[in-house]
Structure 1
Amino acid sequence: MDTTTQETAIPSWTPKQEKPRNRKPLIILAGVIVLLIAGAVYYFLTRDKLRGMIVIPYIAHQKPTIDPHLPTSTSLSDKLEEIQFDALFNVSANPSGIVYEDGLGEFLGIDQNNIVSVRLKTNKLWHDSYAITMDDDELKSIDKKQDHLFSAADLGFTLKRIQALGSLSPDYILVSQAIDPLGFEGPDASNVIRFKFRGDRIWKDTDIKEVLSFKILPDGSDMNALNYTNGTAAFMMLPPKDGVSNYHKSPDGTANIADLLLSPFVDNSTFTTELRNNNINVLLDTPFGSLSPILDDTSDYFTKSNVSTTFFAVLFNTQRLNRDQRREARKLLSGQQIMNALYKVGTEQQRNIIDYKGNKNNYSDYVNRSVFPSTSYYIEEEVIAPIVDSSPVNLAVLPDTLRIAACMNFGYREEYADLIDVLNTPAVTRGRVKAFAIQNEEIRAGNFDGLLVAMSGYRSNFLFDLYDIFLREPDLRTYKINLVTTSDAQGNYSINPISFKAEKNFFRLDPDLNTAERADILQFLEYLYGFMSTRQIGDKQEYARRVDALEQQLSLGAWMFSLPSLAYFTTQFDSSSVDLYGVASQLSTMKKWREREK
């Protein structure tokens, strides 16, 4: 029997080819995870690197120097004096406002004859009582050397220096309008001294303490030193490195945080980034005084505001622009319009601001209509009511091109850069302005119609400094006031007309070179000196009105706007311990700052 074997055909089969899996999302996810882990590790490694210290930035070529009785060209210098030197009564702040605390004195009272009694704290040590040992820039030890105690002689020396400085010093203006003669009696066996206050007003305790808030230097100090280093306050200056000193808590001081470090950078444009990267932990000023979008995490940062101390103005060159041209140029340079453009008001890029009273985006409050800023005592208290010329600009009077120069090398670089762009915007200045940057050395030559300049460090109380504006020599690197006075046989002082020389002020004011305005220029100089030198508050107010009225006629500048003041702190600090209010210096409360508990 035959057996037939049949082969069953097996159908052909080709394995299905799978497409290669897209691993890109996995790689990206892995990368993100690695970055997050790296970021977390970096955060935990660096978050405490500034523990136990306050680190504040400064512009490297603007090294702070300290003179407690004269204004300086860098605002940080005037703030640092608050932590280094004591007054009889130190200006400070609390959540409610300005306060005056005992420094080197204890207020005992004022009697019916306006005799003010103060007990001196003669147990306070000057910082040179200690020997400081450094290893490169690292503090090794602070050892007691020999007691150098505060005494009435130190106060006497300080008053002599203030009197010698005269109206160059804001302290002289404050003290001389209150105390007559400029000195004191005592001390007695209880270390009590007595001042004779003028009888032309009712003296409140806070007013008395304000008068006695000038910083005190040790007896025998150099009357004309460029930098004062020996104080009695909570922080002592360490030996300098590269011309700049850091600070450490005085052994007998009460500061909660031991170290203050000053960190140099090329300019202020990187300050917010340095704060975000935890290289600094305090930023006393932000660009434009506005809130920073990269610092909006309230778990990492908090803000504090106080009153403005800087204003931007265009100072007109009186040798190139006549009075009619200056008047029309002032109208052309509208402070409100320029500020709106600078802060990009109404756009998605708007720069938001907040003041120390909690008001937000109140830009118009910062617009100035007088040489006395809107945030100053003279406007706030309505001593002056600036005249606003609302008539249209007569472009026919102006030069074809109004040339406005600016030097960007001494702070406010970002503000200057944007302001130059704003001034060159036809929609803002009608196509009649050419704004440009120059070097500091070119300012004195005056080859421009106006100079855009930031006037920083002004006081918003009645001690507003007009010399800083009108008599400062045209050099942003060096602060020097060209004040020349003469005295008669009776010892009465008056200002000499040579105080106004073209090459000695930003406006190139010079009565000898401007015969058409000679009488008004000399009169303005008299009012200026009267305002700065008078000892009577009523007279000071009257001189302020006269200065404002004559300046409005002369149209010496377009006063534009004040810069909001905003400080950022990392949450390394306890925000409730940081009080900034009104005209109190940003560092006047630094000894009270505390670190937040972990």
Structure 2
Amino acid sequence: MRKWIFIGIALLIASGVTLYLVLSPGLKDKIVIPYISHMKPFVDPHLPHANLVSDKLDEVVFDGIFNVSADASGLTYEDGLGELVGVEQPGNIVRIKLKTGKKWSDSYKVLMDEDEVKSIGDSTLHGFTVDDLKFTINRILKLGTLSPDYILITQALDDINFEGPDGDGIVSFDFRDDREWPDADIKEVLSFKVLPANANINALNYTVGTSDYLSVPSMSGVNNYHKSPAGKAAISSFMLAPFIDNSTFTTELLNNKINVLLGTPFGAVSPLVQEDEDYFYKASLAQTFFAILFNTQSMDIENRRAVRNLINNKKIMDRLYKRGTQQQREIVDFKGNKNKYDDYLNFSVFPSTSYYVEENVVYKEEMTDDSRLTKDTVRIAVVLNYGFREELSEILEILNDKALTGGRVKAVSVQNEDVARGNYDAVLLAVNGYRSNFMFDLYDVFFREPNFDYYKINLKTRIKDGKEVFDPGSLNSSNNFCRISSEMGKDYSEFIENVHGFMSARKLGDKLVYAERVHAAEQELCLGVWLFSMPSLSYFNKQFDPASIKMYSSPLSGIENWKEVKK
């Protein structure tokens, strides 16, 4: 009898521990995600961010005319600040009824007690108007091809502006008439986030939105978020928790310091939590790939080709994921397929998971190359303090394995200043922030300032024959990772022009042509070694209802629909 009493007590204790983990008072009615403390997030909804957390927060604060969501079949769109009325023919005139009057978050006065919201009351009413839409469109136009929104919109519209509103509050966009426009494609084009007209057009951080969460201050200096009185969010608080390094994030999840982990080390199923009944995971589209970019000032083309031949991306990925061993790192793609490692191997700046590879716009060519490595040792620099520390550290070790690279490669951890000064033959880095399998930011790879302390794209344009064209003086041998410039010769000048052409192309056919040109030219110039993409996996505490969380490309899209499990 005593034995069964002890068993019953043990079961009660175990269930109590589980209930505490799932419904810890510190996490109840909260979404808490981590960030690296020296990489404080900021939000600009129209520009890409190297900071992974920053690149997702616009989904929390802002509405588009339509908002990105997801279901089991993939990407979907919901009404945001507008409703699709219809498409008039001929001419593909898209008519949108604006939801004017929706409150901006500065319509509320928030009273804080340290990091806790004590009360939210009304302040001066500030409602959404057509002027906000005009301001936003003007800002996107000003940013030009630096903004993914500009690239997407200008591929659909000859004139990015609109007519109206009419007496019913309906505005009209003139979509191109060279193709049919399904509702989903229209909503994708009009999913750019809308800012208030009284915002600073050149601000570094935007906090006033119309979405279901208000931006509120915190003791850390990084804004947190609280559900808006006018919103439909089911969970009250969305908070950002700072930690020194991302290598501890999984432990923080297990220690109940956070309850959402938007990315796992290596994008893999965690051995620490995969058997744990208190967590579940969801996969989304790969958004990061690893590459080695050559310094063309210290590596001539023959040496670059020789290194590309020397480095085997499949062997590196197999080693990194411990494939075929008892310690194998398991992966899952967004379709639920497990351990399809080879699907993530890349041979081009366009990842193998992309539209451009899947549709054979670019394809792998088996090239015979007898280039010889004349440098005694190739110095590959790696900066570990700006994210992906675990992954980059292990790739560094693998590259230094003489069995893999014959002792001709020396991969070293360096400070950011060394990369900024160009003290490397090549640099190993993670390129992240890709939101779909079609919209790729080649500026992020080839035009970015070689400094991880800040994100700057070196792009200038000028007017030629009445048209805006790329200014070759934008790039010089010190302001991009590959250290390329138009002054290096015709091949480099044409490559740079084709990168700009790809990013600024408005028609699908033009974009595909430029993609093919960029791929072919890069293969010839050998500017990088394209390793592999990293799977994307997120973990959630089981306090959340898995059915309420839909993921496809952006993990925080639809966050207002997240719900806790009812007990």
The residue that corresponds to 1:62 in the other structure is: 39
Give CA deviations for 1:26-77 in whole Å, capped at 9, x if unaligned. xxxxxxx999999877666564221111110111111110000001121111
Q: Secondary structure at the match of 2:150?
A: helix
Give the letter for the 2:345 counterpart.
V
**Structure 1 residue 471 corresponds to structure 2 residue 447:** yes
Q: Distance in 2 between matches of 1:556 and 1:436?
A: 20
Q: 2:94 touches 2:172 (CA, 8 Å); kept in 1?
A: yes
Q: Secondary structure at the match of 2:421?
A: coil
**Structure 1 residue 149 corresponds to structure 2 residue 127:** yes
The residue that corresponds to 2:509 in the other structure is: 538
Question: Of 391, 396, 399, which aligns to 1:420?
Answer: 396
The residue that corresponds to 1:84 in the other structure is: 61
Q: CA deviation at 1:459?
A: 3.1
**Structure 1 residue 570 corresponds to structure 2 residue 541:** yes
Q: Distance in 1 between matches of 2:366 and 2:34?
A: 39
Give the letter for the 1:546 counterpart.
R
Q: Secondary structure at the match of 2:381?
A: strand
Q: Distance in 2 between matches of 1:483 and 1:575?
A: 43
If the length of structure 2 is used for normalisation, what is the TM-score?
0.95
Q: Secondary structure at the match of 2:38?
A: coil
Question: Of 524, 534, 537, which aligns to 2:495?
Answer: 524
**Structure 1 residue 444 corresponds to structure 2 residue 426:** no
**Structure 1 residue 361 corresponds to structure 2 residue 343:** no
Segments of 5+ residues of structure 1 without an aligned counterpart are: 1-32
Q: CA deviation at 1:297?
A: 2.7
Give the letter for the 2:312 counterpart.
S
Q: 1:405 touches 1:450 (CA, 8 Å); kept in 2?
A: yes
Q: Distance in 2 between matches of 1:39 and 1:444?
A: 53
Give the letter for the 1:223 counterpart.
I
Q: Secondary structure at the match of 1:98?
A: strand
**Structure 1 residue 579 corresponds to structure 2 residue 550:** yes
Question: Of 271, 274, 278, which aligns to 1:300?
Answer: 278
- Summarize the Cα distance change of 1:560–1:45 in structure 2 as closer, same or farther, 3 Å threshold: closer
Give the letter for the 2:24 counterpart.
D
Q: Distance in 2 between matches of 1:314 and 1:131?
A: 49
Q: Distance in 1 between matches of 2:140 and 2:364?
A: 33
Q: CA deviation at 1:165?
A: 0.5
The residue that corresponds to 2:30 in the other structure is: 53
Question: Of 218, 222, 227, which aligns to 2:196?
Answer: 218
Q: Distance in 1 between matches of 2:377 and 2:459?
A: 34
The residue that corresponds to 2:3 in the other structure is: none
The residue that corresponds to 1:589 in the other structure is: 558
Give the letter for the 1:527 counterpart.
N
Q: 1:377 touches 1:460 (CA, 8 Å); kept in 2?
A: no
The residue that corresponds to 2:88 in the other structure is: 111
**Structure 1 residue 553 corresponds to structure 2 residue 529:** no
Give CA deviations for 1:435-468 in whole Å, capped at 9, x if unaligned. 0101111112212111000011023333211111
Question: Of 461, 484, 489, which aligns to 1:485?
Answer: 461
Question: Of 131, 150, 166, which aligns to 2:109?
Answer: 131
Q: Secondary structure at the match of 1:504?
A: coil
**Structure 1 residue 198 corresponds to structure 2 residue 176:** yes
- Summarize the Cα distance change of 1:511–1:182 in structure 2 as closer, same or farther, 3 Å threshold: closer
Q: Secondary structure at the match of 2:226?
A: strand
Q: 2:353 touches 2:437 (CA, 8 Å); kept in 1?
A: no
The residue that corresponds to 1:324 in the other structure is: 302
Q: CA deviation at 1:203?
A: 1.1
Tell me which structure has the larger Cα radius of gyration. 1
Q: CA deviation at 1:536?
A: 1.1
Give the letter for the 1:78 counterpart.
D
Q: CA deviation at 1:124?
A: 1.0
Q: CA deviation at 1:557?
A: 0.1
- Summarize the Cα distance change of 1:35–1:507 in structure 2 as closer, same or farther, 3 Å threshold: farther
The residue that corresponds to 1:16 in the other structure is: none
Q: Distance in 1 between matches of 2:73 and 2:321?
A: 30
Q: Distance in 2 between matches of 1:369 and 1:312?
A: 11
Q: Distance in 2 between matches of 1:220 and 1:37?
A: 57
Q: CA deviation at 1:337?
A: 1.2
Q: Distance in 2 between matches of 1:318 and 1:211?
A: 38
Give the letter for the 1:531 counterpart.
F
Q: Distance in 2 between matches of 1:448 and 1:270?
A: 29
Segments of 5+ residues of structure 2 without an aligned counterpart are: 1-7
Q: 1:73 touches 1:477 (CA, 8 Å); kept in 2?
A: no
- Summarize the Cα distance change of 1:550–1:37 in structure 2 as closer, same or farther, 3 Å threshold: same
Give the letter for the 1:221 counterpart.
A
- Summarize the Cα distance change of 1:110–1:81 in structure 2 as closer, same or farther, 3 Å threshold: same
Q: Secondary structure at the match of 1:221?
A: coil
Q: 2:548 touches 2:563 (CA, 8 Å); kept in 1?
A: yes
The residue that corresponds to 1:508 in the other structure is: 483
Q: CA deviation at 1:344?
A: 1.0
Question: Of 236, 249, 253, which aligns to 2:227?
Answer: 249
Query: 372-381 vs 585-594, which deviates more?
Result: 372-381
Q: CA deviation at 1:377?
A: 1.9
Question: Of 151, 158, 164, which aligns to 1:180?
Answer: 158
Q: Distance in 2 between matches of 1:271 and 1:423?
A: 26
Q: Distance in 2 between matches of 1:461 and 1:433?
A: 32
The within-5 A match list for 1:326-475 is 326-389=304-367, 391=368, 394=371, 396-475=372-451
Question: Of 99, 109, 116, which aligns to 1:121?
Answer: 99
Q: CA deviation at 1:428?
A: 1.7
Q: CA deviation at 1:176?
A: 1.1
Q: CA deviation at 1:347?
A: 1.3
Q: CA deviation at 1:510?
A: 2.6
Q: Secondary structure at the match of 1:474?
A: coil
The residue that corresponds to 1:165 in the other structure is: 143
Q: 2:486 touches 2:496 (CA, 8 Å); kept in 1?
A: no
Q: Distance in 2 between matches of 1:444 and 1:299?
A: 46
